[in-house]
Amino acid sequence: MLPPRVLLMADETPARVALLLRGINVGKHNRIPMAELRRVLVAVGCDDIVTYLQSGNAVVTADPAALAARTEQALRDEVGLDVRVLQRTGPQLAAVVAANPFPEREATPKQLHVAFLDTPLDQASLDAVGTRHGDDELALAAGELYLSYAGSSYDSTLGKVLPKLGVVMTARNWTTVLKLAELTA
């Protein structure tokens, strides 16, 4: 059973936060209806919950301290899902949008993705795997990894390169990044 709803203390400052669940509702595994996700988010202290698409995006108002960890634990305990949750605030998402190193890809938002990282990645690690793979490119900016695809992300060789970086990440296309930035502003 979920714990009683967590209430914010007077000294905690709620913020608009995007929660990015990794690998949700892709294929047959890690399925969760958005109504169930909203129920879990209420139980961990979130208000003003907006889910975006069915692929693990939620924007909430909550105390951001350890929100991702609380959400991961509640998903594990109550829904039986062992998934990583990354969080970004409105100012962090605004910085991601502003730092886009591939502005020419904005007109084709399905060919521009941002891989949100759970731990920092340094440029040397990225250089070790290379930033260019065929016609596809990688770039590090605003603490995130930007992926520029010449064609479809599904048939790109970047899928074989990204795991070599050794960092947990979850990617969103540019349309989703812009929407999350808007919802957290």
- At 11-43, the pLDDT tens digits run 468 899 999 999 887 667 788 888 999 999 999
pLDDT over threshold 50, residue 165: yes
What pLDDT sits at residue 4?
A: 38
Could you report the per-residue pLDDT of 106-125, keeping only the tens digit for each? Answer: 999 999 999 999 999 988 99
Domain 15-83, CATH homologous superfamily name and number = SP0830-like domains (3.30.70.1280)
Distance separating alpha carbons of residues 114 and 103, to the nearest angstrom: 13
Lowest mean pLDDT among 92-96, 136-140, 152-156: 152-156
Q: Please give the structure tokens belonging to residue 135.
A: 């016609």
> Distance of CA 104 to CAs 39, 51, 85, 111, 149, Å?
39, 29, 30, 10, 11
Q: Tell me, what's the pLDDT at 10?
A: 42
Instruction: Write out the CATH class of domain 94-184.
Output: alpha beta
| Each residue's pLDDT tens digit, 52-86 | 987 789 999 999 999 999 999 999 999 999 999 99
166 has a pLDDT exceeding 80? yes
- Residue 56: predicted pLDDT: 87
Same fold, 15-83 and 94-184: yes
Report domain extents, the chain. 15-83, 94-184
